[in-house]
C-alpha cells in the first residue's frame, strides 16, 4: 500500500475509534434571517384606561456612541399606519446627511376619529363620527405618558417634533395653536381643518394672540383639496402672517399637483429637511 494512502487510512481509523477527535463540520448559516427594523413598547395608559403601543426606530449610529437625538413623534404611527414610511425617510439622514439624525416614535391610534378630533358642534360631524371629540385625552396620553417614557428609555436631546397628515394633521395644528409648549416643531400635512365647520382655523388668530412669543417651527402643506379644507389651511397661514409671532419659524407648501392620498410621503421628506437642518446650516 502506498505510504500516503496508508497514513490516511490510519488517521480515519483513529477518528472512528476516538469520537472526541472526529472532524466537526460547522452547520451552514440559514438562508433567511430576520431584518430588525425597530421595537414596539407597550404602555399602560392611565389617560386612556388601556394598554397602548408606540413603535421606535433608532438611527444606525445610536448603538455606536453616546450621542443624544431629537425625537420625531409620528401621529398615526402604528405598524399598519405611517410608522414605516416615515422611519424610512428618517434613515436618509444617516446615509445622506441632508438633515440631522432623529429617533422616530410612532404613536399608534386605535380610533383615530375619536382620538384626533375635538368636540364638534356640526351636526354632520356628530352624525358621521359618533365617537369623536377626545383629542384632549389623547394629547394628555402623548404629553404625560408617551413622551416621558421615551425620554426615560432612550438618549433623547430634549428637542421634539410632531408629524401627521389628515386627522393627525388636524390634531397637530390644534396642538400648535392651543398647546404650543407640547413640542418644538409641528409638521401638519393636508390637515383636516374642515372639521367642526373649520372652527379651529377661524380662531387661529385669537389663539396666536394668547401665545405672543414662541420659539417654535411650523410646517404646513396642502394638496389639491378644496372647500373648507383649503379655506381652513389658508386661514391659518393668514393668521400666522398677520400675527408675526416672534420666534416662530414657519413655511407653507401649496401643492395642487398632489392628491390627499399621495402628498404625505412626498412632502414629509421636505419637512424633515426643513425642520432638522444640520446645525451648521441652521446658523445661517
pLDDT in tens, 77-92: 999 999 999 999 999 9
DSSP string, 205-250: HHHHHTS----EEEEEEE-S--HHHHHHHHHHHHHHHHH--TTEEE
Mind listing the pLDDT tens digit for each residue in 16-75? 455 544 455 667 777 998 888 899 999 999 999 999 999 999 999 999 999 999 999 999
Q: 201: buried, middle or exposed (CB in 10 Å: 19+, 13-18, 0-12)?
A: buried
Q: Are 188 and 169 in contact (CB under 8 A)?
A: yes
User: What angle, rounded to 10 degrees, do the helices at 195-202 and 167-178 form?
Assistant: 30
All cell numbers assigned to 170: 388636524
State the fold for domain 37-278.
Rossmann fold (3.40.50)
Give the percent of the chain with pLDDT over 70.
89
Report if pTM > 0.75: yes
Closest of 142, 22, 21, 130 to residue 71, by C-alpha? 142
For the chain, the domains span 37-278
Q: What is the pLDDT of residue 130?
A: 96
Mind listing the pLDDT tens digit for each residue in 207-251? 999 988 889 999 999 999 999 999 999 999 999 999 999 999 999
d(CA 22, CA 20): 6
Closest of 255, 284, 281 to residue 268, by C-alpha? 255
Q: What is the pLDDT of residue 5?
A: 44
Amino acid at each position: 500500500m502506498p505510504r500516503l494512502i496508508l497514513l490516511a487510512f490510519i488517521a480515519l481509523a483513529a477518528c472512528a475509534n476516538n469520537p472526541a477527535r472526529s472532524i466537526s463540520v460547522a452547520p451552514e448559516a440559514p438562508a433567511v434571517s430576520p431584518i430588525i427594523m425597530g421595537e414596539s413598547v407597550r404602555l399602560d395608559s392611565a389617560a386612556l384606561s388601556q394598554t397602548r403601543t408606540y413603535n421606535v426606530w433608532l438611527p444606525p449610529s445610536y448603538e455606536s456612541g453616546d450621542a443624544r437625538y431629537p425625537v420625531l413623534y409620528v401621529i398615526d404611527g402604528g405598524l399598519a399606519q405611517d410608522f414605516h414610511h416615515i422611519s424610512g425617510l428618517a434613515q436618509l439622514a444617516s446615509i445622506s446627511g441632508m438633515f440631522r439624525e432623529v429617533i422616530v416614535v410612532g404613536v399608534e391610534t386605535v380610533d383615530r376619529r375619536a382620538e384626533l378630533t375635538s368636540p364638534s358642534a356640526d351636526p354632520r360631524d356628530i352624525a358621521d363620527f359618533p365617537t369623536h371629540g377626545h383629542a384632549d385625552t389623547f394629547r394628555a396620553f402623548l404629553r404625560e405618558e408617551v413622551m416621558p417614557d421615551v425620554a426615560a428609555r432612550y438618549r433623547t436631546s430634549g428637542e421634539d417634533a410632531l408629524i401627521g397628515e389628515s386627522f393627525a394633521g388636524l390634531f397637530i395644528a390644534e396642538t400648535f395653536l392651543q398647546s404650543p409648549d407640547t413640542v418644538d416643531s409641528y409638521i401638519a400635512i393636508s390637515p383636516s381643518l374642515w372639521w367642526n365647520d373649520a372652527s379651529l382655523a377661524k380662531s387661529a388668530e385669537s389663539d396666536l394672540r394668547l401665545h405672543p412669543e414662541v420659539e417654535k417651527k411650523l410646517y404646513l402643506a396642502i394638496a389639491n383639496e378644496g372647500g373648507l379644507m383649503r379655506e381652513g389651511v389658508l386661514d391659518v397661514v393668514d393668521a400666522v402672517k398677520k400675527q408675526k409671532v416672534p420666534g416662530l419659524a414657519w413655511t407653507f407648501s401649496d401643492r395642487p399637483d398632489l392628491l390627499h392620498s399621495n402628498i404625505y410621503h412626498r412632502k414629509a421628506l421636505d419637512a424633515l429637511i426643513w425642520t432638522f437642518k444640520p446645525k451648521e446650516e441652521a446658523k445661517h
